Structure formats: C-alpha cells, structure tokens
Amino acid sequence: MKKGLEKKGIIYVLLVCLIYGLMPAITQLSFRAGLSVETMLAGRYALTLILTWSYIRVKGIDCRIRGRQLALLLSVGLVYFGVAVSINQSYLYLPGSIASVLVFLYVSMTLILTFLSRREPVSLVKILCVLMSLLGMFLIIR
C-alpha cells in the first residue's frame, strides 16, 4: 500500500474513533434534553441522509441500485437499525463507556464464530489479542 494512502486511512480511522467516542456523551445529553431513543435516531439519520445525498450530488457519484443490490441494502439496513436502536437503548441503562466497551466484544465473538463455522485456523497472535482485549474490558468494567 502506498504511504500516502495508508496515512490517509489512519487519519480516517482516528477521526472515526474520536466521533465514535463522543457518541455516548452526545446521546446521554440528548436523553437529558428529553429526546427518546427513537426521536434522537430519527433526527440523527435524517441529517445523515441529507448530508450523504448532498455529498453524492456534489461529487457526481452514480448511486443507482441494480438487481440484487436492493435486497442486500435492505438486509444491511435492517441489521444496522437493530444495532443502532440496541446500542442507544443500552445507554439508558448503562454508562456510555461501559456500553461501548461491551459492544466491542463482537471482535472476540467474530473470531470464535469464524473458527467454529469455517474451521479457519486461529493464530497465537489473534488469541493473545483477544485475551488482552477481554482483560482490558474486564478491568474497565470492574
């Protein structure tokens, strides 16, 4: 991979980390202001829709949906709807930091499910990474 592209990718990941890290606090503020999970999500995604379509129009991106793409988009949308509602509901019952840390158990679950379902070999490095992340989550939650 070219150095410039790798650096750009790292910057985007760091930006996502910053934004994702702010979401629990912003969500908690929304709840304190009297918004429900549903109202907050509707407002967030309405704004996201407007910004995304504006970006697509300005860039002149062809975003026509062809064939089976519609079914795939609907499936992904339904799954993401479940994720968005669930994580935001969890912020009503848990501190945002704890809820967000617990969400990242999916990395460990993905590794385990991939091993069990596809019988893919798991390297020692992956096992150590999962164990260290689980230990870190335990220490934070405790």
Whole-angstrom distance, CA of residue 142 vs CA of residue 139: 5
CA 8 to chain centre: 20
Tens digit of each residue's pLDDT, the chain (142 residues):
677 788 899 999 999 888 888 888 899 999 999 999 999 999 999 999 999 999 999 999 998 998 889 999 999 999 999 999 999 999 999 888 788 888 878 778 888 888 888 877 888 888 888 888 888 777 777 6
- Contact of 40 with 30, CB cutoff 8 Å: yes
Q: Each residue of 20-36: b (16+ CB within 10 Å) or e?
A: eeeebeebeebeeeebe
**pTM over cut 0.85:** no
